[in-house]
Amino acid sequence: MSTNTYRKVRTRPRRSDKSPQVLRYIQDVGQIGAATLLAVTMLGSSVIAGGLVGLAVSFRNLPDVRVLRNYSPSETSYVYDVKGTLLDSIHDEANREVVDFNDISPNLKRAVLAIEDSYYYSHSGINPSGIGRAALANFGAGSTVQGGSTVTMQLVKNLFLSPERTLSRKLVEVVLAMRIEQIFKKDEIFELYLNQVYWGHNTYGAQTAAQSYFGKSVKDLTLAEAAMMAGLIQAPESYSPFVDYDIAKQRQRIVLQRMRELNWITAEAQAAAKAQPIALGKITSFRSSQAPYVTDAVLTELTEQFGAEAMAKGGMRIQTTIDLGMQKIAEDTVADSYYRFFGGGAYADQIALVAIDPRTHFVKALVGGVDHKSSQFNRAVQSRRQPGSAFKPFVYYAAFASGKYGPDSIIDDSPVTYPDGYNYYTPKNYDSSFMGSIPLRKALETSRNIPAVKLGQSVGINRVVEIARTIGIKSPIDPVISLPLGAVDLTPLELAGAYATFANYGWHSDPTLIMQVTDSSGNVILDNTPKPQLVLDSWASAALTDVLQGVISHGTATNAQIGRPAAGKTGTTDSQRDVWFVGYVPQLATAVWVGNDDYRPLGRGATGGGYAAPVWQSFMMQALRDEPVENFRPPSEFVRP
């Protein structure tokens, strides 16, 4: 039986549920006199075997061990970055990774059998003479040097029975062990056992134990390491080298001595194993995520799709789109900016940052706050805040795509009033001044409000909403007159994804943190290979990018200059509660939000150019350090609508 065939159900070894059928059976058996049971167990092995088989036939409430053909222990799920670096592991109380029998070190197989069941391959599930020999050996040594139960009996106990120590339960254990031996091959049973057994520190199965104790795969265990691991099984928490290294070494010597007595190793191998220095690893069951805001978002998305149990017990392998190196730059930039620019919260208590590759719409870095330990709320994906003027590019794109406007078209920056239901709406510029007739280019570079509102009315607010939906904005949007000025609540992830589409000349994929998910058998269950579609007009997108470069070079975001072509837009709400900068180069689009969770104003004069643009600049200069400088394609390379 291959490992893959039993990865469908889960259980918790050493904490097995009490099967109702087994309980009823135990109650039946419990009615038999203790003296009679004791007498039966004292008979010769052949008599015992025949008698127990007869009992197994007569008692019909025993569990059907054939369910093991479709059995799978619960397994840990792992989250990796785009390059395969482990970010986090997710599991319930059983931290386990299942491996095939052939991928387990022969050293460990021999060591476990030597101390737990040295006659495993010659008995049929029970070994009365072996139990007697183990009792005598343990008595003579003054400690447990040999196991009494066979490997098969231990497996039965872990999978089907309660931990209580009664004669009736022991009888059930024996009967089920014999039944398993009739149905499964020895290697199949041993494989189940090695993947099921508890090794301490919330670690189950040989592979996870080897990774925890020695920082290596179970297939690579040396004789010395295998002997130490085998010695832990009888009392893993007490014998753990993490708890008491001297006791663990003592247990190792006992296992090696038993292997030598069995002639399974030479005297030279025994001596070499005793002398080998042991380099311990780290307990893996309680590690923290290397990118907690990222893994939180990933787990939330996958839990909604596959369910919490599948995440905690299904052995998924989750490859994210995150570049851990860039993620660390983003986290460090946010933390450093918090203290350097905002006095450690005196003006702003939170910053969020999202970086997306425009070519794939893969999220490369995501930071949901200044410090995950103090606040797990993920502002990058959960917090919707008004973008202010960072929403204006949606309106300007709509104008360019309409065919009626170009970057040098003239618009009148002068007072205007619109009827708004029973009231009137009069937009104002940030500085309350007017520039008169100006090109659209200058209106966006200097972030004039009145031209943006006039453009919105010209192209139609519903058209602006339609464009926002087309490039990934899923938050509620009301088609109000003030929408061009950012009268909508959006997440940093949404804005970064939308700007990434502008950066890629209208080619769009849904932004994602997850590249691929496989199950424990390697079957792909989620594949987010980019499938870009051209959803915007390329000329209009290139024209918008051309104008947005002026915002950085000589407009409201000169603090975002990074020494290479870049485009972007500042955003500031009227009350200074939210400030933004969202910008991009051909390889990376990044949104930065700065604000307070309680919506407290940042202070008079706070702007996206003064507060958010420097954070963006700091991150982009580090993130792009090894990236070649690329120029944007000019609008002239595309056909104008």
Q: Which helix (H) or strand (E) holds 621?
A: helix 613-623
Model pLDDT for residues 245-281, shown as the tens digit of each residue: 999 999 999 999 999 999 999 999 999 999 999 999 9
What pTM was estimated for this model as a whole? 0.78
CATH number for position 111:
1.10.3810
Q: What residue numbers bound the domain in which 128 lies?
A: 1-73+104-197
Residue 595, CA atoms < 13 Å, CB-side half-sphere: 31
Confidence of residue 341 (pLDDT cuts 50, 70, 90): confident
Decide if 173 is inside a domain. Answer: yes
Decide if 447 is inside a domain. Answer: yes
The one catalytic residue among 75, 97, 116, 191:
116
The one catalytic residue among 389, 447, 509, 538:
389
pLDDT of 484: 97
pLDDT of 421: 83
Q: What is the rounded average pLDDT of the residues 527-548?
A: 97
Contact 259, 111 (CB under 8 A): yes
The encoded tokens of residue 624 equal: 């792009």
Poorest-pLDDT segment among 98-107, 279-288, 613-622, 628-637: 279-288
Q: Say yes or no to pLDDT of 545 above 60.
A: yes
Instruction: Mark which of 163, 197, 231 sits at the end of a domain.
Output: 197
Decide if 607 is inside a domain. Answer: yes
What contacts 517, CB < 8 A, 6 or more positions away? 302, 316, 317, 318, 319, 524, 525, 526
Decide if 218 is inside a domain. Answer: no
Number of domains in the chain: 2
pLDDT of 165: 61
Decide if 243 is inside a domain. Answer: no
pLDDT of 133: 64
Contact 472, 591 (CB under 8 A): no
For residue 488, list its beta bridge partners: none
Q: What angle do CA 43, 49, 55 make, to 5 degrees?
A: 100
Active site residue 124: no
pLDDT of 5: 34
Q: Say yes or no to pLDDT of 561 above 50.
A: yes
Q: What is the rounded average pLDDT of the residues 347-364?
A: 96
- Tell me what percent of the chain is helix, strand and coil, each rounded to the nearest 5: 45, 15, 40
Decide if 203 is inside a domain. Answer: no
Model pLDDT for residues 49-91, shown as the tens digit of each residue: 444 554 444 455 666 777 777 777 788 889 999 999 999 988 7
Secondary structure (DSSP) of 45-86: HHHHHHHHHHHHHH-TTS--GGGGGG----B-EEEE-TTS-E
Strands 77-80 and 317-320: parallel
Q: Say yes or no to pLDDT of 613 above 90.
A: yes
Instruction: Look at phi and psi of residue 602 and say left if phi exceeds 0, alpha if psi is from -120 to 50, else beta.
Output: alpha
Instruction: Mark which of 197, 212, 229 sits at the end of a domain.
Output: 197
The C-alpha atoms of residue 611 and residue 338 are separated, in whole angstroms, by 10
Same domain, 190 and 334: no
Instruction: Outline where DSSP puts E strands in 117-220.
Output: 203-204
Percent of the chain with pLDDT over 90: 69
Model pLDDT for residues 507-521, shown as the tens digit of each residue: 999 999 999 999 988
Active site residue 237: no
Model pLDDT for residues 12-36, shown as the tens digit of each residue: 333 333 333 333 333 333 333 333 3
Letter string b/e over residues 41-65, b meaning 16 or more CB atoms within 10 A of that residue's CB = beeeeeebbeebeebbeebeebbeb
Decide if 462 is inside a domain. Answer: yes
pLDDT of 557: 97
Decide if 232 is inside a domain. Answer: no
pLDDT of 221: 97
* Closest by CA position to 275, among listed 295, 291, 256, 302: 256
CATH number for position 604:
3.40.710.10
Instruction: Mark which of 197, 225, 251 sits at the end of a domain.
Output: 197
